[in-house]
A and B are shown apart, each in its own frame.
Chain A
């Protein structure tokens, strides 16, 4: 590619050079000048020029122009409100018109203090109101989903949310209805906005029209702290900001990493944090009392007990990892196992990183995934990148099944632990099974292993998962409560920061103690462990981590679309909205695909069903009635049924009929 031609543009008497075609808003910014905007958001596609906030004067053009719709041309002379009375008048007019129907309820608005409209009114707006008539009023706020409230009076019709829905998420659920002054944002028949990316519209909204129901009235911007960290719920590793107040997580927002997430989050990443406060959260160590029950014990007792179990088991210890550990925790556990001569079960032994930025998917002609399950279930933001594909070449992709499968594998290897690569080898029964994390704890295969183990130690956040089969339970923590690093599906090592203090010491803290008892050297500080693990300074892990060059070349060649049976076949999958955290947040229930059969359009048409209609599925002599859910982009023949739904049905050939 030849480097783009540079052009010289003058903005408010300042000359600046930018590549030809750069947007005027960005061009002005390069000259240190702000062109205020509302509707403009380059991530949503071509500019629409709707709000008229960005009016500027261009030499040689008689009328004001919407700066957001123009691109830099050589010799262009631009005047913003700073130096053009006409542009200043235009911006002032736009703000006056916006405020004509905008309620002045800033004191009770969640956006207050971080509201572009409030800020721009302060800077460019009319000082007093000339509008003495009644404003448009609507019922407010109305929930457009359990996660999101819509206040139509505050809406300034910038169409960011609807453009997101149509052009980015491509869900087509959130639309503008009616015309003119009666235009409003709506869903079909007031049904909840169900798409897995819905929460992004909250952040896109430049006013307080779309707000988070979880965050409503929870905090004012000047009382909060935003901690930059990484989402630990899937292998994408989106960059997030965690808003906390008085030691509690109040919301999660994106922190645009242009190569990883483009500033989008899925709803799981955004809305799952209330699980931190789940009723069955384990805050004290628990030990088995009587046959099935668990009772709290002190930390001293717990460490003693753990030490005893480990010493007894010796090389018979088997550590099962979830793949949600930080690199440092996985390293610590593996180091301990190695010192004892035990082994480690990796969540995915054959995992490989993509080795290139996810943003490359947008530049590919096509993205091949070796799975019939849609990408949006396993790596949702990768699916958004793949939707943009329209360039050249093909990129093959195999998605790790766990959030830090890549990092855990590397950490274990570097710790020199022997891996029990196959759970079948363990059928004979280990002396001590150490189960790390909720995903492992809820895995039926792990439960089976536990049946055969002589003793079981589990690290878990939630009681429900460990009740009845662990001898000793040590409280687990969430990625929001940990320090360290995680490695995403690209192979990018990213910094995880503790946003809130966990209700009990984090794993690395007590693991270090336990290690000391066994004469294994392990620091309780993630920074020290990181340096031991990677041989690089922890401080070098910046806020927006680069991709390490060392990623194995061509790791993904050989990935091919799965060519299995071609008939109509039932495919089991783990939905995005599943897992221990999701299950503990009631608000997710409307998004969970329980009792649903995902069908391609072709199959729905052949069977004669529409979205939501009942269908009957028959396999191996049994049957179940589910609701049809038509899924765009699904291969014909694939019938998707979530794990946990109609478990009598077996994967493989299936007959689907109208019920």
Chain B
């Protein structure tokens, strides 16, 4: 199968953490090309490439760059979202530890395109090794005098999923509790330090050198309509070869799981797939032929999200999955808005009861109602991120939920998610509730 690498190109047989190696595969040529162009031309290339954000929301990068407020008298900031914390996602990490220079090159090109002199990379605190690799790479770039007056600051997070949400990230970067802001004002107008700011994911930015090298129009030919280019898909769960795979958008899910991923281990059956990180609705085994692109996923009432594909085999209990997902979002809810803070905790309580075999049938409806009451009412999308997947588990695996009630116990004795200890239970005994 012919694979065309763009983001990880060259990393198969070279140590791209070294500037010389990176240069040997054409590194920083795009930057030189970009600097010979007018900033507006760069944004035009981004627009032409039709590249959509790789962080989760899939917003076209070129459009976002063109929204930046001009003539405000304030500096414009480029903020790179390297907080990667969406469960199932580990692609940005691999970009940073295998091709840090490509990220830096992307930053410098983008900064030129938006006429910014200040770049902040917000990297999740747990990524210590990646921070060190990136810092070393940045030193090499600085010594090689490639920065050209641009400052790049690496800012480490400290353990909070919500800081991946762009406005929470800005708050955190400003030294505050990482709680999302209301929009408007949008970051493009009032972002970091109330100045116009462009926020993009690591992978999005690391794709920019390829776009400049090829030209936006050429890049747009990769992938499929409305989902151009390649993406790094993070494959994990019950699959033989977990890992990140750079593939053109539109690749069928089946190809990723079976041909590349080696299928389900130990001769088990596929039960379900989470196609875009834990916050998206689940697909059943019957939907495994869905192509990995934005529109095809939307047609299946789910989302491509962060491109994290989590494979679930037939041992797994979907109630336990719902509980574990809800526990995650309860733990990570920032606590600012009511529906998310209270609703995620309530979801956990209901799911615990159902999983324990003490639930009633009405409580399935109650669970759906709680999800529905969270949906679309929160300050940021985290509440939705909890409600949507859990509602989809009930919707698509309602039988399993019913059996818990009817049989008065969990019918999946071999489920690997049985009684997994979630941090929310361990750190916060006072909120672990036994009804």
Contacts and interface: CB of A to CB of B under 8 A. Distances in A.
Direct contact of A and B (CB under 8 A): yes
Interface of A: 47-53, 55, 63-64, 66, 69, 89-90, 93-94, 96-98, 100-101, 130-134, 136-138, 156-157, 159, 176, 178-183
Interface string B322-338: 00000000111111111
B160 interface: yes
Contacts of B334: 179-180
Contact of A181 (B160, B184, B335, B376): B335
B6 interface: no
A49 B379 contact: yes
16 contacts: A50-B379, A97-B341, A132-B435, A133-B353, A133-B433, A133-B435, A137-B430, A179-B177, A179-B333, A180-B332, A180-B333, A180-B344, A181-B341, A181-B428, A181-B431, A182-B335
A48 B342 contact: no
Given A63-B376, A130-B366, A181-B431, A47 B182 contact: yes
A324 B138 CA distance: 67
A66 B335 contact: no
Q: Which residue of A50, A51, A97, A178 has the most chain B CB atoms within 10 A of its CB atom? A: A97
B178 to A, nearest CB: 9
A96 B335 contact: no
Contacts of A69: 182, 184
Interface string B403-435: 000000000000000000000000010110111
Contacts of A179: 160, 177, 332-335
B342 A101 contact: yes
A64 B379 contact: no
A212 to B, nearest CB: 26
B349 A133 contact: yes
A89 B366 CA distance: 15
Contacts of A131: 346
Nearest to A95: B338
B431 A182 contact: yes
A61 to B, nearest CB: 11
A69 B339 CA distance: 17
B342 A93 contact: no
A69 B378 CA distance: 13
Given A133-B435, A176-B177, A180-B330, A100 B379 contact: no
B345 interface: yes
B431 A136 contact: yes
Given A66-B182, A94-B377, A134-B435, A49 B335 contact: no
Nearest to B363: A132
B373 interface: yes
Contacts of A100: 342, 345-346
Contact of B338 (A63, A64, A94, A132): A94
Nearest to A94: B338
A51 B338 contact: yes
Q: Tell me whether chain B's interface is mostly helix, strand or loop, or mixed.
A: helix
Contacts of A132: 435
A178 B335 contact: yes
B123 to A, nearest CB: 20
Contacts of A183: 335, 341
Contacts of A51: 337-338
Which A-B residue pairs are the 8 nearest by beta carbons? A183-B335, A93-B373, A49-B182, A97-B342, A180-B333, A133-B349, A69-B182, A133-B435
A97 B177 contact: no
B281 interface: no
A69 to B, nearest CB: 4
Nearest to B382: A180
A71 B316 CA distance: 49
A180 B182 contact: no
B248 interface: no
B430 A97 contact: no
Contacts of B353: 133
A182 B345 CA distance: 10
A63 B381 CA distance: 12
A344 to B, nearest CB: 55
Nearest to A71: B184
Contacts of B378: 52
Interface in B49-89: none
A181 B333 CA distance: 8
A64 B376 contact: yes
A47 B379 CA distance: 12
B275 interface: no
B343 interface: yes
A172 to B, nearest CB: 12
Nearest to B178: A179
A50 B340 CA distance: 10
Contact of A96 (B182, B373, B428, B434): B373
A50 B345 CA distance: 17
Contacts of A181: 330, 333, 335, 341-342, 344-345, 428, 431
B424 to A, nearest CB: 8
A347 to B, nearest CB: 46
Nearest to A98: B338
Given A97-B343, A138-B430, 5 more contacts: A50-B338, A52-B339, A97-B341, A133-B350, A157-B338
Contacts of A96: 373
Given A100-B342, A180-B331, A55 B435 contact: no
Contact of B336 (A50, A93, A98, A130): A50
Contacts of A178: 335
B337 A49 contact: yes
A51 B336 CA distance: 8
Nearest to B378: A52
Contact of B430 (A52, A94, A182): A182
A209 B434 CA distance: 25
A100 B349 CA distance: 12
Given A50-B379, A97-B373, A136 B430 contact: yes
